[in-house]
């Protein structure tokens, strides 16, 4: 079972006994392993469950030097507060000097280790007391009779005589030939000054023939560990760098290239770890690869926990399948929020090579989200669209010339606003110009201005406001009436400015034609009246003359 990690903040550890319990017995000596027993309390209550233990030996109660490698005992069973496990720090560690044991623990597979303070001094046990006096007990002195030499020699040997000496290559001793070892000549030994002719094709290798790990040390500290992972063939775990770096029990195909810190401190682990099959941590410090085929190339505090995930930089968390997370030097954690994401935190900006082109494939979809998903640019069938927030009446689009970014609404940042489009209309800083080139047009047909005038005279006009802009009044026709009268424009929901202008011009021409026709008719009528008046004047004149 897994117990909540929060208990570690209030854990109490009571060491009951550290006894030397030999694990690798020979005829006359004990091994280096010993049994470690303890009591683990969760607050005042004995703990129950499985926990991972991290142990290391130091030669001082605080600070000092670490002796041997750090050990990780995974899934240690704690029952009613009691647990027992085996520790083996290897040869050359328990040499008689004082040793203090530092213990860290975590819930089974539950993240970094919490190290307990203070360290615990190791007490002597019966075999340890014997070992402290072994040198004196093993001193050979006096004369050994022939019977004490197992019958191989007929004369006694006096080890106390200054005249006694032992020299030569041992070739004269029964069954010993110093020129070979178990039949292998000196050419078959690995030498500190190098070997010649060690061709792997001929079977030469440096390593093991069993399923035990192989370690290389530097300054008596583990620098490289190769772990076989039976029963998975050819899936060796490679653990380089700090001796605190580790691969979880049961994990195979793991790689830790290096990095990792020295001693861990309370509440923080500097070790690198791989906790899932085929995970990789190339280096850095405090990095985890906890997903299948997950990768952390380096950096610090990164976690690649999703399958096929990638985390790099500082405190980058790739938590879902297929996520790529890169974080800059900011200390805060930066995490993915869904599968198959590409996440970047670059507060200094993202720079592309000037010759770089971006391609998004041939799928109609939204390409770019801004401010969450409130604003965006996307591609629909046969169109590119821009989307703004569906909020207040001022939400819309603004085009600026020059200036710099400013968060305030309609603030050009020192530039010039060229155009402003909101629900209430389109505002243009200058003249609105539409194409009217004859070469851009076709299907010309004559217009009857007098007919247009008559339709304009009959067109209903009213004053109104847009629902999205209740404060602004307008005057004009409805698009439905305009379209029914003139049958121009895209549909009966819109009136194009070019059509409104054209209808107005045609109506003016029709009005001019009407005025001219009326003027001609009046001129003809006036001329007729003039002629009639002249005729009357002549008649009146003739009547006057007859009198």
pLDDT in tens, the chain (547 residues): 443 334 343 344 433 333 334 443 343 445 678 888 888 887 778 888 888 888 888 888 888 888 888 888 888 888 888 888 988 887 778 877 888 888 888 887 677 788 888 888 887 765 555 555 554 444 555 565 555 555 445 566 665 666 655 555 555 555 455 567 777 777 778 888 888 888 888 888 888 888 899 999 999 999 999 999 887 878 899 999 999 999 999 999 999 999 997 554 444 568 999 999 999 999 999 999 999 999 999 999 999 999 999 999 999 999 999 999 999 999 999 999 999 999 999 999 999 999 999 888 888 888 899 998 899 999 999 899 999 998 888 899 999 999 999 999 999 999 999 999 988 888 899 888 888 999 999 999 999 999 999 999 999 999 999 887 888 899 999 999 999 999 999 999 999 999 999 999 999 999 999 999 888 989 889 989 999 898 888 888 888 888 7
Q: Tokens 């004009």 sit at which residue?
A: 476
- For residue 100, give the H/E element and its range: strand 100-107
Q: Facing residues of 378 across strands?
A: 366, 385
**Count of other CB atoms within 10 angstroms of residue 124:** 13
Distance CA 500, CA 235 (A): 79
CA distance 456 to 460: 8
Give the pLDDT confidence score for residue 236 in this predicted structure: 93
Selection from 499, 466, 446, 468 nearest residue 394 by Cα:
468
Domains of the chain: 5-129 (2.60.40.10), 366-428 (no CATH), 447-547 (no CATH)
Q: What is the pTM of this model?
A: 0.55
Collapsed DSSP state (helix, strand, coil) of residue 181: strand
Listed in sequence order, the residues at least 6 apart from 292 whose beta carbon sits closer than 8 Å to its beta carbon are 276, 277, 278, 279, 307, 308
User: What pLDDT shows up at residue 5?
Assistant: 37
Q: Taking each helix axis from N to C terminus, what angle separates 449-458 and 497-546, rounded to the nearest 10 degrees?
A: 100
**How would you label 270-308 residue by residue, b for 16+ Cβ within 10 Å and e otherwise?**
bbbbbbbbbbbbbbbbbbbbbbebbbbbbbbbbbbbbbb
Tell me the Cα Rg of the chain. Answer: 48
């Amino acid at each position: 079972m897994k117990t909540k990690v929060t208990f570690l903040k209030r854990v109490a550890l009571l060491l009951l006994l550290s006894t030397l319990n030999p694990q690798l017995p020979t005829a006359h000596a004990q091994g280096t392993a010993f049994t470690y027993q303890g009591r683990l309390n969760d607050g005042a209550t004995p703990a129950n469950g499985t926990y991972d233990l991290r142990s290391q030996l130091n030669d001082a109660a605080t600070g000092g030097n670490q002796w041997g490698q750090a050990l990780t005992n995974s899934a240690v069973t704690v029952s009613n507060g009691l647990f027992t496990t085996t520790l083996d720090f290897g040869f050359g560690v328990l040499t008689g000097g004082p040793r203090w044991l530092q213990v860290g623990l975590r819930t089974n597979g539950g993240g970094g280790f919490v190290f307990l303070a203070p360290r615990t001094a190791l007490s002597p046990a019966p075999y340890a007391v014997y070992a402290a006096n072994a040198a004196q007990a093993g001193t050979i002195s006096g004369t050994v009779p022939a019977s004490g030499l197992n019958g191989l020699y007929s004369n006694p040997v006096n080890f106390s005589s200054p005249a006694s000496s032992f020299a030569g290559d041992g070739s004269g001793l029964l069954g010993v030939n110093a020129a070979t070892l178990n039949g292998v000549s000196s050419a078959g030994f690995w030498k500190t000054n190098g070997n010649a002719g060690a061709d792997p094709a001929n079977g030469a290798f440096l390593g093991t023939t069993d399923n035990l790990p192989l370690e290389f040390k530097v300054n008596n500290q583990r620098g490289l560990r190769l772990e076989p992972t039976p029963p998975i063939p050819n899936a060796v775990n490679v653990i380089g760098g700090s001796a605190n770096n580790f691969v979880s029990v049961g994990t195979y195909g793991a790689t830790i290239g290096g990095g990792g810190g020295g001693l861990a401190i309370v509440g923080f682990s500097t070790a690198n770890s791989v906790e899932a099959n085929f995970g990789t941590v190339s280096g850095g410090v405090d990095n985890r690869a906890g997903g299948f085929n997950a990768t952390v190339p380096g950096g610090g505090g990164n976690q690649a926990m999703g399958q096929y995930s990638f985390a790099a930089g500082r405190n980058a968390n790739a938590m879902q399948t297929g996520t790529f997370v890169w974080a800059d030097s900011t200390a805060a954690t930066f995490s993915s929020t869904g599968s198959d994401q590409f996440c970047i935190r670059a507060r200094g900006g993202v720079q592309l090579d000037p010759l770089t082109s971006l391609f998004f494939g041939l799928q109609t979809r939204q390409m770019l989200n801004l401010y969450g998903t409130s604003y965006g640019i996307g591609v629909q069938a046969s169109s590119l669209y821009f989307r703004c927030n569906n909020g207040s009446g001022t939400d819309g689009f603004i085009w600026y010339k020059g200036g710099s970014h400013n968060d305030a609404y309609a603030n050009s940042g020192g530039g010039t606003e060229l155009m402003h489009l909101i629900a209430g209309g389109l505002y243009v800083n200058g003249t609105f110009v539409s194409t009217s080139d004859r070469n851009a047009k076709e299907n010309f047909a004559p217009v009857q201005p007098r007919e247009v005038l008559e339709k304009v005279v009959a067109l209903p006009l009213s004053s109104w406001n847009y629902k999205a802009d209740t404060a602004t009044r307008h005057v004009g026709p409805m698009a439905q009436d305009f379209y029914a009268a003139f049958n121009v424009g895209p549909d009966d929901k819109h009136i194009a400015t070019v059509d409104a202008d054209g209808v107005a011009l045609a109506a003016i021409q029709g009005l001019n034609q009407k005025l001219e026709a009326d003027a001609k008719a009046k001129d003809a009528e006036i001329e007729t009246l003039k002629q009639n008046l002249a005729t009357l004047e002549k008649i009146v004149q003739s009547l006057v003359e007859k009198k």
